[in-house]
Amino acid sequence: MSDLAVKAWRIVSLWVEQTLGVPPAVLAKLLWSLVAGVAFLILRWIIGNVTERRISETARRYIVLKTVNYLLGFLLLIVMVRIWLGGVSGLAAYFGIVSAGLAIALQDPLTNIAGWIFITMRKPFVLGDRVQIGTHSGDVVDIGLFQFSIVEVGNWVGGEQSTGRLIHLPNASVFREAIANYTQGFNFIWNEVAVTVTFESNWRRAKELLTEIGQRYTAIKSEHAAEQVRRATSKFLIYFQHLTPIVWTSVIDYGVQLTIRYLCHPRQRRSSESAIWEAVLEEFSKCPDVDFAYPTQRFFDNVREGKRGLRPDRS
């Protein structure tokens, strides 16, 4: 500094000390902290503009900006520690005094930070995954230091469609709740559509039609795609004997239930189910020997309808 600047600084610091009661040493630290904060904002703005121009992919740009913010924030923290505490030794002494209090007062935030480290390292889910945490389901759209956010699906909306709500969950949820990931490792889910026909219907013909419809709308339509799925699932030792659609047969109170089991993309569950039902309605309308069943009440006259050997003797 020049002599003029030094004299000006002394005058200003003396005035602040007499007016506000702030010592010159504290005033200097405040000014340096302000400089560090402004430099942080300018650097983040520059990097943000460069990233916006250079990276067109939204997801990748988001990850880069998020990482840059964390790194700059950590750098700013180190600078602030150096300004106010005088180095690493001061930081160690400070934390040694307040560590016990912080452990109690900041238990939840520290647990959330530990959850963020777990999510970052172990990756139970990443951005874009569809997950279920406890009673909440949705698509992951943000992962922060203390919480992650999902766009909710399901709830009052059928077919696991989006409700439009954004749910913020603490990162500590990964330690307390079971995590169901719809898209990790195995990028498909099994879905079932149950169709019930009457006992008098030609259920074998109905089963053939449903098998053909299931093959038409399954997400796995070639052996090459099935092989890709098998390689992807080897990471988690997931094993399915069959990836092709199958129709299961069972009997319920009022008819023969034929259940189509097929693979679909997690976000296309409702649309695929709707397409299958439209195909079922169209195909069954062409078959005079196949009818849908529904709960009915029937009275059985054993004298007229029972088997001959089991009918009561009317003599």
DSSP result, 277-307: HHHHHHHHTT-TT--B---------HHHHS-
pLDDT of 239 reads 65
pLDDT of 14 reads 59
Looking up residue 200, the CATH number of its domain turns out to be 3.30.70.100
Residue 266 is assigned to a structural domain of this protein:
yes
Residue 308 is assigned to a structural domain of this protein:
no
CA distance 71 to 260: 51
Q: pLDDT (tens digit, 9 = 90+) per residue, 50-90? A: 887 777 777 667 777 777 777 777 777 777 777 766 655 55
CA distance 210 to 277: 10
pLDDT of 68 reads 76
Half-sphere exposure of 170 (CA within 13 A, CB side): 13
Residue 298 is assigned to a structural domain of this protein:
no
Question: Is residue 211 predicted with pLDDT exceeding 90?
Answer: yes
Residue 71 is assigned to a structural domain of this protein:
yes
Question: Is residue 146 predicted with pLDDT exceeding 70?
Answer: yes
Helices 24-54 and 3-20 meet at what angle, rounded to 10? 110
Residue 2 has phi, psi (to 5 degrees) of: -80, 165
Containing 103, the helix (H) or strand (E) segment is: helix 88-105
pLDDT average, residue stretch 266-278: 91
CA distance 243 to 186: 12
- Tell me, yes or no, whether 166 and 194 share the same domain: no
pLDDT of 169 reads 92
- Tell me, yes or no, whether 83 and 101 share the same domain: yes
Q: Which domain holds residue 17?
A: 3-105
Q: pLDDT (tens digit, 9 = 90+) per residue, 280-308? A: 999 999 989 999 988 877 777 776 776 66
Residue 309 is assigned to a structural domain of this protein:
no
CA distance 114 to 148: 13
CA distance 57 to 79: 33
Query: Which token pair is 16?
Result: 């602040």
Q: pLDDT (tens digit, 9 = 90+) per residue, 92-116? A: 555 565 555 555 656 777 788 888 8
Higher pLDDT, 27 or 291: 291
Q: Which of 1-5, 24-28, 191-195, 230-234 has the highest mean pLDDT?
A: 191-195
Q: pLDDT (tens digit, 9 = 90+) per residue, 154-185? A: 888 877 888 889 999 999 899 988 898 888 77
Burial of residue 148 (number of CB atoms within 10 Å: 0-12, 13-18, 19+): buried
Domain count, the chain: 3
User: 181, 212, 230: which is the final residue of a domain?
Assistant: 181
CB proximity list for 243: less than 8 A, separation 6 or greater: 220, 226, 229, 230, 263
The answer to whether 209 and 287 are in contact (CB under 8 A) is yes
Residue 307 is assigned to a structural domain of this protein:
no
SS3 92: helix
pLDDT average, residue stretch 228-253: 76
Residue 4's alpha-carbon distances to 1, 7, 18, in angstroms, are: 8, 5, 21
Query: From the CA atom positions of the chain, what is the Rg in Å?
Result: 33
pLDDT of 195 reads 94
- Tell me, yes or no, whether 61 and 133 share the same domain: no
Question: Is residue 238 predicted with pLDDT exceeding 70?
Answer: no
Question: Is residue 17 predicted with pLDDT exceeding 60?
Answer: no
CA distance 143 to 59: 12
CB proximity list for 139: less than 8 A, separation 6 or greater: 128, 129, 130, 131, 150, 151, 153, 162
The answer to whether 286 and 209 are in contact (CB under 8 A) is no
Question: Is residue 21 predicted with pLDDT exceeding 80?
Answer: no
pLDDT of 258 reads 95
- Residue 310: band (very low, low, confident or very high) from pLDDT cuts 50, 70, 90: low
Residue 67 is assigned to a structural domain of this protein:
yes
pLDDT of 236 reads 66
Residue 125 has phi, psi (to 5 degrees) of: -160, 160
For CA atoms 40, 42, 48, 54, give the dihedral sign. Answer: negative
CA distance 131 to 138: 6
pLDDT of 207 reads 94
User: 164, 181, 198: which is the final residue of a domain?
Assistant: 181
- Tell me, yes or no, whether 214 and 193 share the same domain: yes
pLDDT of 72 reads 77
pLDDT of 26 reads 66
Question: Is residue 20 predicted with pLDDT exceeding 70?
Answer: no
Q: How many residues does the chain have?
A: 315
User: 105, 132, 164: which is the final residue of a domain?
Assistant: 105
Query: Which token pair is 308?
Result: 């001959």
DSSP per-residue codes, 58-70: HHHHHHHHHHHHH
Question: Is residue 148 predicted with pLDDT exceeding 60?
Answer: yes
Looking up residue 136, the CATH number of its domain turns out to be 2.30.30.60
- Tell me, yes or no, whether 97 and 177 share the same domain: no
- Tell me, yes or no, whether 280 and 211 share the same domain: yes
Please, what is the average pLDDT of the chain? 79
